[in-house]
Homo-oligomer: A and B are copies of this chain.
């Protein structure tokens, strides 16, 4: 008998039929003798509908009220899921975040979980109940309802699994696991049996959006065994995300190829290579709440240097406006160039640490395909490049083959 947390996302609970399918799966685990905690998201589309209503009334809705409104989506799904279980003869009870309770800080719309009281859950499990928890939400120490931000239901599931020391936290999605790369781009893409947390973090933050980065960090921190599974397939082991690298020792050098078409690149050419230049450039951008992803600065030449960073495509114009209107006169660059016809591609693998030659093999492969690389950035377990967006598919396919990712 295991203690399992199962999290189902919006498309898995999109309507009554899907909710019944979720309940059937839970019932199957329950009948095998496991103790089950179910965490659910809002029905797909519901959160956006509620945000739309709020924005119709107030352009930038007050965040306390927005959280009170939006959190109802998960509360409804939790109730419906409990109903579906009860209807199948499985005793179940639903809980909103404040009922558990899931204590968070007061950062409305992006609250962080501080503490989970596992007593309510434990008591119900001991009575043989399935506990259904509304994801994505909590309550602050003054009793205000908070939400954890987009994708927060994953975090709820992991946090509950950590608090109650679950044997496994299963995340059900619309894919059946983590792949070596996107199967829509490379048809030979292969499902990984396991992946390390570090690799998963790189894969997740790079656009393989199966799991929310934050929930993966959380799982790593609290040593929660995560498994990604498909909610649309009855069987399958999915991909397990391990925190022990040893389990992966026999694995290949590269685990996968992640990519992201959502970023735009900004090159600030010929800026004086003086201390504080990065701060001068990035501070006004951060002040405008624009997230910066990659940051690359190369050694200086003739006392000037080139500074490159990436932002989301939708933020390109705002970023260029800030640079041209606020930053330019202070740093006097030769030129500021914005380019949204780019893509980012990363090779990810813990094996890279101990194997030389990954980078050279990568660049050789791309060069053979006639693909030009604009920017390179590396970490211990990944190599990221920026290339022309239109060359992305060719690059992913070539690298997938060169690193033999189609072979187990």
8 Å CB contact of A58 from B58, B83, B145: B83
* A392 touches B (CB below 8 Å): no
Which residues 109-159 in A have Cβ within 8 Å of B in the complex? 143-145
Once the chains bind, are A69 and B64 in contact (CB under 8 Å)?
Answer: no
* A93 touches B (CB below 8 Å): yes
* A224 touches B (CB below 8 Å): no
Instruction: Tell whether A75 pairs with B79 under 8 Å between CB atoms, given A62-B86, A99-B143, A145-B96.
Output: no
* A80 touches B (CB below 8 Å): yes
Q: Which residues of B contact A348 (CB under 8 A)?
A: none
Q: Which of A49-57, A192-200, A278-286 contacts B (4 or more CB under 8 A)?
A: A49-57
Which positions in A face B, CB cutoff 8 Å?
Answer: 16, 19-20, 50, 53-54, 56-58, 61-62, 64-66, 68-69, 72, 75-76, 78-80, 82-84, 86-87, 93-94, 96, 98-99, 143-145
Docked complex Cα distance between A93 and B108 (Å): 14
A70 and chain B: residue at smallest CB distance: B79
A69 and chain B: residue at smallest CB distance: B79
Main secondary structure, interface of A, reads helix
Once the chains bind, are A86 and B72 in contact (CB under 8 Å)?
Answer: no
State the copy count for this chain.
2
Docked complex Cα distance between A99 and B65 (Å): 13
Q: Which residues of B contact A83 (CB under 8 A)?
A: 54, 57-58, 61-62, 65-66, 69
Q: Which residues of B contact A56 (CB under 8 A)?
A: 16
Once the chains bind, are B86 and A79 in contact (CB under 8 Å)?
Answer: no
Once the chains bind, are B58 and A79 in contact (CB under 8 Å)?
Answer: no
Q: Which residues of B contact A61 (CB under 8 A)?
A: 83
Q: Which residues of B contact A16 (CB under 8 A)?
A: 53, 56-57
Q: Which residues of B contact A53 (CB under 8 A)?
A: 16, 76, 80
